[in-house]
Every structure is written in C-alpha cells, then in structure tokens.
Amino acid sequence: MVLKIKTGDEVVVISGKDKGRRGKVTYVVPGKNKLMVEHINITKKHIRPTRKGQQSGIVEREALLSISKVMLICSRCGKKSRVGIKVLKQRTDEGGKLRFCKKCGEVID
Ligand SMILES: [Zn+2]
C-alpha cells in the first residue's frame, strides 16, 4: 500500500487551528492515517516537579494530526495538490506504484 503522504514531504494544513500553515512531515503513523508535522499542532504540556530539584515549566511539542487535515505541496508547481497513484507495468521498490501531482502531472516518487 502506498501512502499519499510520507515523511519528508512538505504539506499545508487545510483545517483546524493551524490552517494555512506549512511544514515538513516528520513522522507518519503506519496504518493509522495520522502524522506529525514540524511546528504544527503544538501542544503545551505543563510539567510539575515530582522530585526535589526537578524543574517545572511548560514543554511544547507537536501532536499527531489526521492525514486528512493536510495536503501535499507539489515541489514542481508549488501548489497544494491532490496526490494520485500511478500503477506501473514494471515493478519498483514500491510495488510498481508511483505518486504524482494531479495538478501538473509531475511524478513525486
Ligand atoms: Zn504539481
């Protein structure tokens, strides 16, 4: 199965509080349609010291986003695009499937 979005892709958020923001995919959860994007969907976690000498404070980290909330940005046309899947006759590492941009037709990988 070919995922439409992979680690390292540049995406734009299309819904939610980070709508319109761009970032690079840092992690995709296999089989769960969830991913993590650099600097997107930041949650703040308050840390309370549980032992003496431990620092309290706020830690910011990215939380998982649903894959349906982002769209890939095509590296050729620079637009957010729908990803198509092409099936090739000859086999490749991805099982003969390639992703391509539905806007300009550019093969992504
Ligand atoms: Zn394109």
CA 108 / ligand 1 centre spacing (Å)? 9
Q: What distance in Å separates the CA atoms of residue 40 and residue 17, rounded to the nearest whole number?
A: 9
**Across all residues in the chain, what is the average pLDDT?**
89
CA 109 / ligand 1 centre spacing (Å)? 12
Q: Which residues of the chain have pLDDT under 70?
A: 1-2, 91-95
Q: In sequence order, what are the beta bridge partners of 70?
A: 13
CA 74 / ligand 1 centre spacing (Å)? 4
Q: What distance in Å separates the CA atoms of residue 80 and residue 100, rounded to the nearest whole number?
A: 12
Q: Give me the CATH topology for the region 10-50+58-101.
A: SH3 type barrels. (2.30.30)
Q: Is 0.85 topped by the overall pTM?
A: no
Place of tokens 């037709």: 105
| Length of the chain in terms of residues written | 109
Give a three-class secondary structure readout of the chain.
CCCCCCCCCEEEECCCCCCCCEEEEEEEECCCCEEEECCCCEEEEEECCCCCCCCCEEEEEECCEEHHHEEEECCCCCCEECEEEEECCCCCCCCCEEEEECCCCCECC
pLDDT of residue 42: 94
pLDDT of residue 106: 93
